[in-house]
Amino acid sequence: MTLEIRRTAFADVPASRRLGAEAFGVSPQPAPDPDPDNWPSPNIRPWVATDDGEVVAGLGVRSFTSWFHGAPLATAGFAGVTVAAERRGSGLLRPLVEAALAEARGLGDVVSTLYPSSAGIYRGLGYEVVGAFEEVRVPMSALAAVRPPAPDVRARRATAADVPAVRRVYETWASAQNGPLSRREEPFAMEPDDIVGPDADYTGVTLAVRGAGDTEELLGFASWSRGQGYDRTNTVEVDDLVALTPDAARALWRVLGSFSPVAGWVQVCTSGGWSGLDVSRLVLPDHAATAAPRPYMLRLLDVPGALAAARVAPVTARVPFAVADPGAPDLEGAWTLETAGGAVHVVPDDAATPGDRPTFTSGGLAQSWAGAQSTANVRLAGGLSGPTTHDAVWDALWGGRQVHVRDYF
Ligand SMILES: CC(C)(COP(=O)(O)OP(=O)(O)OC[C@H]1O[C@@H](n2cnc3c(N)ncnc32)[C@H](O)[C@@H]1OP(=O)(O)O)[C@@H](O)C(=O)NCCC(=O)NCCS
C-alpha cells in the first residue's frame, strides 16, 4: 500500500468523477469529457488520494472571495469531498483535507468554508456551523396580503444594460453581511449573458426601481425561473431576491405573488434562518413557509489575517486571546488584539501562559468571529474557556453582522 496525496492529474479525472458520482448519486449519464487545455476549470483546485495508483479519495477547493466584516476575504471553499466506500473510516479524510488546507494557506486564503453532508465530518478539522443556505417555499396565499410599495417604487424587467447596477445592489447587500460570496470570481460572477437574454439561467430578472429615466435608482432585484405548467402544484423558483428597502422587497414579492393563478409556490434561495432573518422576508405579513436549510461551516486559516482585515466599531481596546485546538494545530497560538478607530491589529504574545486569557477552539473562534454566536453561547458549546473579562468587548467587535450565504457549491 503506497498512499499518495496530491493535486489531481488529468489522467485521474475519470476515476475521480466515478468516485464523486457514486458518493453524490449523480446521474449515470457520463458528463462530456473535459478538454485537457481547459482543465481544471478556473478557480478550482482538485485533489486526490491514491493507493498504489488507484484513486481512493478526492475533493475540490473552490477559490473565491467572501465578505466578512466589510472586507472581501480570500476563501477556500471545499466541495465534493469523497472517500471510496470500502475505504471509509480508514483515516484518509484528515490528511487529504489537511494537504488542501495547507496549500490554501500558502496561496493566501484567509478562511475556508463548506457545505457539509454531516457537520460531524468536519468538526474535528476545525470547522463549525455558522449559518445556512436555505431554500424557502412560500405559499402563494402568503403573498396575497403583501402591501403595495410606495407609489414612486415600481417593478420592471431587467435588460443587459441593467447588469452593472444589479451587481452594485448585490454588493451593497453582500458587503453588509458576513459570509456572502463577493461574486467577483467565476463561476459565481454575475455575467450579463447568464442573467438576461436568450441563454440566461432565468426566465426573467425583475427590478424594483424608484424614479425614471436618468434619475432612476435600482433598489432591488429578483431573478426567477417560471418552471412548467399552469396549475397550483407549480413553483416559481427564485435564485436571488435582494432588496435594499422594504418598498423594493414589497414590489418584488408582489410580482412573484402575481403568479398565484398558475403556480402554488414561490421557492426562494435565502439564508439566515429565523435568528438572522433575511430582512426582505420581514415585509411578508404571513410567516407561512417551509425551509430546507443547508448548513454552512467556517474555519479560519490565518487568525491574524482574518481579524486584522475587519472594519469594526471604533472602540479602543486591548484583548488578549488564544486558540487551542489539537484538531487544528495550524491555528494554535496566543495574541493580543489591539483596536482603535475601527482598525484591528493582532500581535503575537510570546509571554502568554495557559489559562491566562480567553481561549477558543477553532470552531468557537469561527462562530464568534463570524457573529454567529455570542461569547456566552460559544462558552456553553465548549468553544471558549478562560477569563470572561473581555467577552462584552469581543461581542461588540464581532457581533454586529448577520451570517448569510446565497451561493451553493
Ligand atoms: C464523509 C466521508 C468523506 C468521510 O470519510 P471517512 O474516511 O469515512 O472519514 P473518517 O472515518 O476518517 O472520519 C472523519 C471524521 O468524520 C466523522 N464522520 C464520518 N462520517 C460521518 C457521518 N456520516 N456523520 C457525522 N460524522 C461523520 C468521523 O466521526 C470523524 O470525526 P472525528 O475526526 O471527529 O473523529 C466519507 O464517509 C464519504 O465519502 N461519504 C459519502 C460522501 C459525503 O458525504 N461526502 C461529504 C460531502 S460534504
pLDDT band at 31 (very low <50, low <70, confident <90, very high): confident
Residue 258 in any domain: the answer is: yes
Q: Which of 296, 315, 339 is the last residue of a domain?
A: 296
4-24 pLDDT, tens digit each: 999 999 999 999 999 999 999
127 part of a folded domain: no
Whole-number Cα distances in Å, 263 to 225, 239, 249, 266: 12, 17, 20, 8
Residue 407 inside a domain? The answer is: no
Residue 258 sits in the same domain as residue 363: no
Contacting residues for 274 by C-beta, under 8 A, at least 6 apart: none
- The CB of 294 under 6 Å from ligand 1? The reply is no
Q: How many CB atoms lie under 10 A from the CB of residue 406? A: 23
89 lies in a domain?
A: yes
Average pLDDT for 126-138: 97
Q: What is the CATH number of the domain that holds 392?
A: 3.30.1050.10
For the segment 333-357, the average pLDDT, to the nearest whole number, is 96
Question: What number is the average pLDDT over the span 351-378?
Answer: 97
What's residue 160's pLDDT? 95
85-101 confidence digits (pLDDT tens): 999 999 999 999 999 99
291 and 146 assigned to the same domain: yes
Domain count within the chain: 3
Residue 28: pLDDT band (50, 70, 90) is: low
DSSP classification of residue 409: -
CA of 365 to the centre of ligand 1 (A): 22
pLDDT value at 1 more than 90? no
H/E element holding 395?
helix 391-398
Strand pairing partners for 288?
A: none
Query: Picking from 46-55, 121-130, 194-203, 331-340, which range would have the lowest pLDDT averaged per residue?
Result: 194-203
Tell me what pLDDT residue 158 has: 97
The CATH number given to whatever domain includes residue 221 is 3.40.630.30
Pair 143, 213 in one domain: yes
Say if CB 315 and CB 396 are below 8 A apart: yes
pLDDT at 202 over 80: yes
Indicate the average pLDDT of the chain.
96
- Residue at 124 is within a domain: no
**Same-domain check for residues 307 and 292:** no
Atom index in ligand 1 nearest the CA of residue 117 equals: 48
In this prediction the pTM is 0.97
| Domain end point (choices 296, 314, 330) | 296
Tell me if 124 CB under 6 Å of ligand 1.
yes
**Which residue, by CA, sits nearest to atom 14 of ligand 1?**
121
Task: Based on the fold, state whether residues 219 and 139 are members of the same structural domain.
Answer: yes
Is residue 373 domain-shared with residue 260, that is, in the same domain? Answer: no
Looking at the chain, the whole-number percentage of residues with pLDDT higher than 90 is 95
- The 3 state secondary structure assigned to 91-136 is CCHHHHHHHHHHHHHHCCCCEEEECCCCCHHHHCCCCEEEEEEEEE
Is a pLDDT exceeding 90 seen at residue 30?
Answer: no
- Final residue of a structural domain among 82, 114, 146: 114
Ligand 1 centre distance from Cα of residue 45 (Å): 21
- 81 in the same domain as 24: yes
Note whether 167 and 279 are same-domain residues. Answer: yes
Quickly state the pLDDT bin for 32 (edges 50, 70, 90): confident
34 Cβ closer than 6 Å to some ligand 1 atom: no
Q: Is a pLDDT exceeding 90 seen at residue 216?
A: yes
Q: Is residue 71 part of a domain?
A: yes
Instruction: Measure 102 CA to ligand 1 centroid, in angstroms.
Output: 20
**Closest residue (by CA) to atom 33 of ligand 1?**
124
The verdict on the CB of residue 93 being under 6 Å from ligand 1 is yes
Q: Is the pLDDT of residue 59 over 90?
A: yes
What is residue 27's predicted lDDT score, i.e. its pLDDT?
73
On whether residue 408 sits in a domain, the answer given is no
Give the model's pLDDT for residue 51. Answer: 97
Tell me whether residue 126 is in a domain. Answer: no
284 lies in the same domain as 318: no
Instruction: Please tell me whether residues 146 and 287 are part of one structural domain.
Output: yes
CA–centroid distance, 93 to ligand 1, in Å, is 7
What residue type is assigned to position 349 of the chain? D
Examine the domain organization and report whether 242 and 345 are in the same domain. no
The whole-angstrom separation of Cα 238 and Cα 207 is 13
Q: Give the length of the chain.
A: 409
| Residue having the nearest C-alpha atom to atom 30 of ligand 1 | 121
- CB of 273 within 6 A of ligand 1: the answer is no
10 lies in the same domain as 83: yes
Q: Which atom of ligand 1 is nearest to the CA of 84?
A: 39
* Residue span of the structural domain in which 29 resides: 3-114
Residue 101: predicted pLDDT: 98
